Structure 1
Amino acid sequence: MRAARLVPLLFLLLFIVPLLTHAAWWSTRGMADDWRRADWSSAKLLPAASIEPEATVHVFAARVGRWRGVFAHHSWVVVKEAGASAYTRFDVVGWGTPVRVNHREADGRWYGNLPELVTEIRGEAAAALIPRIRAAVQSYAYVTPGSYQAWPGPNSNSFVQHVMAEVPELARALPPTAIGKDFREDGLFAGLTPSRTGVQASLYGLAGVTIGWVEGVEVNLLGLVAGFDLRSPALKLPGWGRIGV
């Protein structure tokens, strides 16, 4: 009986309260009410490609627009070969052909929201990974118009998670608010985490558990994630995302 009372209490504390408090905070922010009025310009997080001689790989994530920013981030991948005069950005969008190349600035704001750097690799290590990243982009399955689904996926985060699973040397986890990262079309999944450093069980990405050195410990319910990270100590909470180092 005591355990039966504990489960709804934990659900309230770990999922509902964080989500409601973040929604309250989010409502106080000034935001563009239309994508045409939003700021999509470079956040100046990357140097000009012309003055960056070495190969680089970056994964970025930024809050999505309007009320959906309460819940979710949008993520994308950026590469630049050694000596290249421009960055190449890969991400997935919800209109037209999903996979886009250089749809926005490499380090552009998303609906006015500043990107955060998920991971960065430079030099020879980046040069070795870039062909595999490009191959992973080409192998993404959901490329036809209409295949994008904001929830539970496949979406932009499903795409970046696919790339990171194909190139586990990226060795980082997407934010817990990257809804769609755990999407599984084939239903029940049990196996290794995308980083290959732990195990994961998932039902269509709607419910599941992840335990890994890179991913940390995550409990997923309807795309909302609660948990913690041991590698870089932090809490993971719905709405707020990762809170820690």
Structure 2
Amino acid sequence: MLCFTTSLVVAMSTADRVSVEIMAESYCPCAGAWEAGWQNDMLPKIGEIATLSRFFDAKKNGTQACCNPSAGADASCMHTKSECVADTLQRCVQAYYPKVWLEFTNCISGPCGGSRPDVLGCKYQFDIGQPKNLAREQICAQNLTVNWTTITTCWRGAEGVQLMQGDADKSDSVEPRYGLAGLPVVWINGQLFSHFFDCRFAGRERYQHALLEAICAASGAAVLPEACKSKSAVLFQ
């Protein structure tokens, strides 16, 4: 396995950081694996040169159209409406706690990676927003100083609907292609980087190297992390 030296934390303003944006689905196994990989594998390498943001897929003509609040009753939903609940919960955490939403997502999803194949997603990923995962979600919130009452009010009320409509409108406005093992779709500084992360195959390391290389190339930081100086990254095909 290729290794990179852990990066020095580079103090940068948010405006100067590379923007990495993803379109995800709570119950897409590959999306859970990608998010865990970003926190566990990418962040230690890139430090503060990039900022991650997320919106949820709720395209009217997509696989989770029922998550679009303005969609009709006949809207299709591959992952069932339970995913819409999971999306809304996490969307409220993003709105109120933008600095810890990724940690919260990975906490409530449960362990990912390691000996667990990415294609299976995270252990509790498909329980998010359901009563059987409530205790886990509350503990994760407490550990991250997230006010659960605030999140619940948002998640189960009109504000959550409004936030999800914003994501739905945004996902309707883009036309990236993706497949069964496709999400998240990833943009770097507004430019499409990848339209699928195929976690069914042993390509994770290759993908992450390409992602790292693209972020380093897009960065205007005066001092780049050591990982950016490596010439061993393999280009994603």
Q: Work out whether the TM-score is over 0.5.
A: no
TM-score, with length taken from structure 1: 0.26
- Quick check: which one's helix share is greater? 2
- Quick check: which one's strand share is greater? 1
The structure showing larger relative contact order (alpha-carbon pairs under 8 Å, at least 6 residues apart) is 2
TM-score, with length taken from structure 2: 0.27
